Amino acid sequence: MIHEILPVGMLQCNCSVFGDEQSREAIVVDPGDEIASVLGIVARHGLTVKAIVITHAHIDHIGGAQKLKQATGAPVYMNLKDAELQKMMPVQAQWLGMPAPEAVAIDVAANDGDKLLVGATEVRVLHTPGHTQGSISLWIPSERKLLAGDTLFRGSIGRTDLPGGDGRQILRSIRDRLLPLPPETVVIPGHGENTTIGEEKESNPFL
């Protein structure tokens, strides 16, 4: 499987491009910004984007979604519990002192247990609320990889002091949904370096 991680934008959100070598189908996760670079990766591998997946409706994760949708025609997936937060995009832009990005219409609701296919590779949606109410993580069993959005970081967890945040809920999400995954699972957080489930289980001071 092709997997490229590109930190994008002011907050360096980890945008992931997953591509299937045979079918050349791809998904892009969290295209927060720098869509020209994202499209460069897609073109370099000769991929066709079939879905754009948003782990949660924070501006640094969703900001470039409309540009990418326009360029690729791919539908946008997001959990609709973040719809309210998505409406706050101009406010979120103010927090960062940047102009509000073009709004994007969500085409497909990403719900817990949903499965996307990238070629023959299954990508499972886990609803992991707490950082926001609609936060999802993506689990790719055959690759032993987890895209954790802003739920779990290397040595840390997502902040819960923003609208829709809940400190007890994020711990419950991590304990019930993420830590039971195989310890060798590589975690790609929404920001910063990769880690593994085993490493976080042993040494994350927040858990």
List residues binding Zn ion (CB under 5 A). Answer: 58, 150
CA dihedral 64, 57, 109, 26 (to 10 degrees): 40
Strands 13-19 and 25-29: antiparallel
Q: Using alpha carbons, select from 136, 161, 152, 127 the residue that is nearest to residue 207.
A: 152
Q: How far is the CB of 146 from Zn ion (least distance, A)?
A: 16
Q: How far is the CB of 149 from Zn ion (least distance, A)?
A: 7
Rank residues 20 and 150 by Cβ distance to Zn ion and give the closer one: 150
Provide the phi-psi class of 119: left if phi over 0, else alpha when psi is between -120 and 50, else beta. left
Give the rounded distance of the alpha carbon of 163 from its chain centre: 18
Query: How far is the C-alpha of 186 from the C-alpha of 194, rounded, in Å?
Result: 7
Rank residues 20 and 60 by Cβ distance to Zn ion and give the closer one: 60
Rank residues 150 and 200 by Cβ distance to Zn ion and give the closer one: 150
Rank residues 22 and 161 by Cβ distance to Zn ion and give the closer one: 161
Q: How far is the CB of 190 from Zn ion (least distance, A)?
A: 6
Q: How far is the CB of 150 from Zn ion (least distance, A)?
A: 4
